[in-house]
Chain A
Amino acid sequence: AQKVTQAQTEISVVEKEDVTLDCVYETRDTTYYLFWYKQPPSGELVFLIRRNSFDEQNEISGRYSWNFQKSTSSFNFTITASQVVDSAVYFCALRGTWGNDMRFGAGTRLTVKP
C-alpha cells in the first residue's frame, strides 16, 4: 500500500525566510513517482514537480528546491527567500508502479507574512 505523510499541518514564516516542507512516503514498489502540488487560496491545484524513484538527483527551480532521499523515504521541498505569494497548501503525492492510484498527503498550509 502507498502512503504519504506530511507531518507539518501548518507552517508560518516571515517573508524572506527559508522554509522546508517535509514529505515521507511508504511503498513496496521499486519504481514509483513522487509529486508536489501547490493549492493557493484560489483553490486550484498546480503541479510543481515529478520525481522518478530511479532519479535521485535533487532539483532546483528558481527559489524552489527538492531533496529526494530514498534512504529515508523522504522528498522534501524547500522554498528559499519565501514570498507572500508562496502562501498556499502544498501537497506531496506518490504513485506506484502499477495502476493510477496516486496517494496524496494531508497537505501543509504555509503562511508567509510580510
Chain B
Amino acid sequence: SQTIHQWPATLVQPVGSPLSLECTVEGTSNPNLYWYRQAAGRGLQLLFYSVGIGQISSEVPQNLSASRPQDRQFILSSKKLLLSDSGFYLCAWSEGSEYEQYFGPGTRLTVT
C-alpha cells in the first residue's frame, strides 16, 4: 500500500532563516505530487505541483520554491522566511490520471 511521509512534524524558525521541508511517497511510481498550505482558519491553498522529476508548477507568487530531485521526493524550500509563511504545510500525492489526492501528516511551521 502507498504511504506518504513528511518531516519535520513541527518547526519554529526565525524570520529570515532558510526552510526545507521534505515529503516522500512509498508504494507507487511516478505520482503527481503537491504542496499545500493551510493558514489559520482557512482552506487549503495549492502552492506547487509536480507531474514528474524536475517538473514543477507554481500556483502562487511567493518566496517559496519546490523541487523534485527524485520520483517520490518533493521538497519545499525558502531562502528567507517571512512571518506570513507560518502555517500548516501539507504534501499530497495522486495516481496518474486519478483525481483523488492523498495527504501526508503535515508540518506545522511557526515563523517568529
Are chains A and B native binding partners rather than an unrelated pairing? no
